[in-house]
Amino acid sequence: MEDCIFCKILNKEIPTEFVYENEDLVAFNDIHPRANTHILIVPRKHIETIKDLKEDERDELLVGKMVLAARDIAKKKNLDGYNLVFNVGRSAGQIVFHIHLHLMSNG
């Protein structure tokens, strides 16, 4: 997607260090962290919001993989407790319309 900032990060148009990546998704530090650790887990597939997920195996798997990636990153970083957040829609504070999971921790 042309004007999507996360697609630009994925295409390396905006240089960003990945803290984790696999064939389905990447993870990088949030540019405006709201916790000691604030990482975004971003699928390579452009999907605007959680509302746009398809009821097919591919999207179901993708969301599961996002959660498991967050868990693995947290484990690697020895985080005890953490919050996993999807903001869904502008009124809920979503500003980037390419789905992403916030991993936030102060522990």
Among ligand AMP, Zn ion, none, residue 46 binds (CB under 5-8 Å by kind): Zn ion
Give the interface size with ligand AMP as a residue count (CB under 6 A).
13
Where residue 12 falls (left for φ over 0; alpha for ψ -120 to 50; beta otherwise) is left
Q: Exactly one of 2, 7, 60, 79 binds Zn ion (CB under 5 A); which one?
A: 7
Q: Exactly one of 38, 98, 100, 102 binds Zn ion (CB under 5 A); which one?
A: 98
Stretch that binds ligand AMP, among 17-25, 30-38, 41-49, 66-74 (CB under 6 A): 30-38
Per-residue tokens: 48: 């605007």
Among Zn ion, ligand AMP, none, residue 7 binds (CB under 5-8 Å by kind): Zn ion
Stretch that binds ligand AMP, among 19-27, 49-57, 63-71, 92-100 (CB under 6 A): 92-100
Give dist(CA 91, CA 67) in Å, integer.
23
**What's the first-to-final CA gap in the chain, in angstroms?**
36
Three-state DSSP at 58 gives helix
Q: How far is CA 79 from the centre of its chain?
A: 17
Residue 4, interface with Zn ion (CB under 5 A)?
yes
